[in-house]
Amino acid sequence: MNRVMRLATAFAAGAAVMYYLDPQAGRRRRALVRDKSAAVGHDVKEAARSRTRRAVNHVRGAAARTRAQLSNEFVDDDVLRDRIRSKLGHLVDAPIDVEVHDGRVVLIGNLTARGFDELIATISTLPGVQNVDSRQSSGHSADERSTSRDARH
């Protein structure tokens, strides 16, 4: 069996040499192999570069989030209101008015109590928010909910 494998390997190697060293089409075949090898090399290089870039961006984002959580920077009321409105645009379809004064947020709108509880929980995690009040203008209940955050965040 070993002798048959050596014979088959020698036959395959001879066929490959004949295929690539053919005087008429061998040059084109060798060029194709060279070009395809170069293309694969470029693809591997680009994939590695892309993954490295993505990993670096993830690390930068994590570092920025950590710095933001540890800093006690003052957040302007206008900036905070814009951040909250942006966040609300992703969370609810109903119009909700946002009032901000010294980090204290008042949400005014027409949602269920459960909906406002979820909003308060989300909004209270934003940097610069000290306190969140909600004033519901629905027909079911007009209660007022409030939650406070630590001044460190």
Shared domain for 84 and 144, answered yes or no, is yes
Shared domain for 84 and 63, answered yes or no, is no
pLDDT at 41: 95
Residue 19, in any domain of the structure: yes
Phi/psi for 52 (5° steps) reads -65, -45
Q: What is the pTM of this model?
A: 0.47
Range of the domain at 17: 2-69
Shared domain for 47 and 89, answered yes or no, is no
Shared domain for 92 and 125, answered yes or no, is yes
Shared domain for 63 and 82, answered yes or no, is no
Q: Contact, 113 vs 95, CB < 8 A?
A: no
Task: Name the residue among 96, 100, 149 with its Cα closest to residue 127.
Answer: 149
Angle between helical axes of 2-20 and 26-70 (0-180°, round to 10): 100
Residue 153, in any domain of the structure: no
Of 16, 36, 69, the residue that ends a domain is: 69
Taking the chain (153 residues) in consecutive chunks of 10 residues, what is each chunk's mean pLDDT? 88 86 85 92 96 97 85 81 87 84 86 74 85 70 47 42
